Structure 1
């Protein structure tokens, strides 16, 4: 920056001269700034690559662990039963007959205009003897239904129109239904309090003329191995039987006269998809390194050819990581090439997965195919972890080292800013002093010129 001293006496463009000198002295700083930009771009790219390696570590390790390829599917030979897989499923086949479906206990009262007693009290008694007393604010059947629905009885109530009586008065019924299915949720409904039920003086609604039990609460029931010496019946309060075998739940939908076969078998499609996803994840990393290591041709100055490297060009750590990952995925297993299960190498240095070859190998020998895939996954996981481990991973260490260099360069750049600012001040002081001295000399020259002129004038008069 200038101080307004340009050409005060000398006519020199002092600011331009100082700027040129500072620019020359700042060249090392300019080079450092350029290196910071380049190195920061490299660190960003390596961090992104490290994240991919870390994700691959997790993915591959999940496949390599014991049970990592325990992928099953459940099928049923009839729509009478729906099967659903859970954790810990094992290959099995069960023959089941559906004898009963779970249902909720339900009844309807005799026709009435309003609740017949005051106060309007009901008591529900569950199958296990649990009693719940419900009191409505008035004798209105709407009020009674509301009280029942908001009580702890576990019963839903609805008022249903039921025509008119002999006098033409509107009649209604209360339909009462257990909120949950199962025999344990069956109930009896009584007009009266808990004490009156205990004393036997409360009226059982089901015994009033015109009332009816619509459904009796019952459990679902299935029979295993029906007709054999091992025949066994199993019940459930709902239509779902949890963990009827390890890792499998079934839901019964309708009765079945004939046994239904529920089968749990290995899912070749899921295993094939897992192998494909592993190969794809490896390819993403190999492709990323290849793309950012490619040297591209371009035109230099004067029409000469030039070449520009990618961010990873010459990066030995990244190159070694690529080589190790490729080797982990493609090296033979027990003398057999991964190509035997569809994991092929290409001329571009990446992988090509053949799902048909994998499926054929799996159909022929699932145990050997899974063993090879898990061995490859284990090698890939170990390699990716050695590269991306947050403490001592090779790529992690490279990133930390590069970040240290960038921090050091930034510190030097700040020091250079101070040094150049001091140098500018020094140059400005020098040139200011020069202008002052030249101004003094000019003043002296003017004085001497004036004196000489006076002497010449005096001599000319003599």
Structure 2
């Protein structure tokens, strides 16, 4: 129900103003609750931002602590025709090899003909392993023959190629190409069924006059330790060689008679970036805490100076988070300071990264440097996880408490809304009754006045 607007019709009082002033006094406790809601919400939002930042740090640090995270290598070859990729399981090493052949697919062409010489057009492709694929085309046209070969399981693709004319008759050849490179892609083509091939009565299409094998199927090969008693030839059906060196893939594109040097080394730049990003994540957490732990000066709408305290000032939970993560990042590892590998405390209480120091330590003692970095990363990951874990992390538990407090405060405000509405309604009824009473008195006064005036007139007439 809306409020009754009863500004003193009889009394002349500004009833609405009086009720508003009285209600302002009554609503003071609710206003305090609303202020508390605002501050609690600000603190909750700050905690949530911090928890997100610390959780991100935990994830990065734990990943950096994994042994595979440090499997970062550069792989190079001394010839541009050879490319090298280092993957999981790679290790530093160097190897010389000669590229003696490149993997090729078989390419053959048939003799020129106007159409397939047999009807029905049945023929058989014999693969390198001796298996036979019998094919029957829809017709004797060279187009249908090509389509049937390409659609079969023989692993051969066919294309019809114009071969001129025989008088007025168009002639065509079939170019046949193995789908895969390597010696295992070799094939033969025979007129007739698979049984005819087995019986030795089928005609070899590629041995006919005018037919040819343009490119023979062959494997790629590289030679190790050429010219020595340890000489070894390694072949591949493709131009890619895997695990000649552990975790390394070598791709070749042309023959290289001169030895090609393949080198695998630790990627110091990538390892340095790993350490740099870890410190950047640490700095992000500390900067967030600092930004909410400062006093901000300003002015209000009237120009008066204001001072606003950061929501984390004096906060014991935040101080505990800071101490725990800082200790994990900078405490000694087996008696050695992380500053030896470039991770140091700054003068203002933050953490910095010195790239030159990290690279120098990595060059001097690769294993020791990476072992220290892993241990620091693991400690940071554990510390950050303990405060940001989604179930029992320190910050998570505080966030849960803040949400509960916020719910309780909003419930109290709602209760006050009901109470204040009842009080306003009561005041409005009281002042309305006052106006009614004053109206009645005024009416009585007017009647008495008229009666007295009548008595006075009668006395004067006598």
Which TM class, normalised by the smaller chain length?
over 0.9
Aligned residues: 461
Q: Is residue 45 of structure 1 aligned with residue 46 of structure 2?
A: yes
Residue 103 of structure 1: aligned partner: 104
Cα distance in 2 for partners of 1:279, 1:437 equals 79
| 8 Å CA contact 1:123, 1:194 repeated in 2 | yes
CA RMSD in angstroms, aligned pairs only: 2.3
Deviates more, 1:302-311 or 1:357-366: 302-311
**Deviation at 1:133?**
2.7
| 8 Å CA contact 2:71, 2:88 repeated in 1 | no
Deviates more, 1:253-262 or 1:430-439: 253-262
Q: Secondary structure at the match of 1:213?
A: strand
Q: Deviations over 1:406-447 (max 9, x none)?
A: 111111111111111111111111112222222222222222
| 8 Å CA contact 2:325, 2:383 repeated in 1 | yes
Segments of 5+ residues of structure 1 without an aligned counterpart are: none
Q: Is residue 405 of structure 1 aligned with residue 429 of structure 2?
A: no
Alignment of 1:358-373 (within 5 A): 358-373=358-373
Residue 7 of structure 2: aligned partner: 6
Cα distance in 2 for partners of 1:41, 1:161 equals 80
**Deviation at 1:151?**
2.5
**Deviation at 1:189?**
0.9
- Give runs of ≥4 in structure 1 deviating > 6 Å: 300-304
Cα distance in 2 for partners of 1:144, 1:421 equals 92
Cα distance in 2 for partners of 1:229, 1:416 equals 96
Residue 141 of structure 2: aligned partner: 140
Q: Deviations over 1:318-371 (max 9, x none)?
A: 233223323322233344333322223333322232211211111111122112
Residue 287 of structure 2: aligned partner: 287
| 8 Å CA contact 1:2, 1:15 repeated in 2 | no
| 8 Å CA contact 2:155, 2:179 repeated in 1 | yes
Cα distance in 1 for partners of 2:182, 2:446 equals 123
Cα distance in 2 for partners of 1:429, 1:366 equals 87
Deviates more, 1:95-104 or 1:203-212: 95-104
Cα distance in 1 for partners of 2:229, 2:22 equals 105
Q: Is residue 74 of structure 1 aligned with residue 79 of structure 2?
A: no
Q: Is residue 223 of structure 1 aligned with residue 223 of structure 2?
A: yes
Q: Deviations over 1:62-100 (max 9, x none)?
A: 222334323222222333532212222223333433333
Q: Secondary structure at the match of 2:69?
A: coil
Residue 460 of structure 1: aligned partner: 460
| 8 Å CA contact 2:6, 2:432 repeated in 1 | yes
**Deviation at 1:272?**
0.9
Cα distance in 2 for partners of 1:199, 1:312 equals 91
Alignment of 1:48-447 (within 5 A): 48-165=49-166, 167=167, 169-299=169-299, 306-447=306-447
Q: Deviations over 1:25-63 (max 9, x none)?
A: 112222222322232222122212211111111111122
| 8 Å CA contact 1:240, 1:251 repeated in 2 | yes
Q: 1:304 to 1:9 in 2, by over 3 A?
A: closer
Q: 1:368 to 1:251 in 2, by over 3 A?
A: same
Q: 1:302 to 1:103 in 2, by over 3 A?
A: closer
**Deviation at 1:285?**
1.2
Deviates more, 1:280-289 or 1:314-323: 314-323
Deviates more, 1:205-214 or 1:99-108: 99-108
Q: Secondary structure at the match of 2:257?
A: coil
Q: Deviations over 1:389-412 (max 9, x none)?
A: 112222112211111111111111
Q: Secondary structure at the match of 1:234?
A: strand
**Deviation at 1:157?**
1.0
Cα distance in 1 for partners of 2:33, 2:215 equals 87
| 8 Å CA contact 2:224, 2:231 repeated in 1 | yes
Segments of 5+ residues of structure 2 without an aligned counterpart are: none
| 8 Å CA contact 1:79, 1:253 repeated in 2 | no
Q: Deviations over 1:87-138 (max 9, x none)?
A: 2222333343333321111211011122222222332111122222333333
| 8 Å CA contact 1:158, 1:174 repeated in 2 | yes
Q: Deviations over 1:191-224 (max 9, x none)?
A: 2233333333332111110100112222222334
| 8 Å CA contact 2:97, 2:260 repeated in 1 | yes
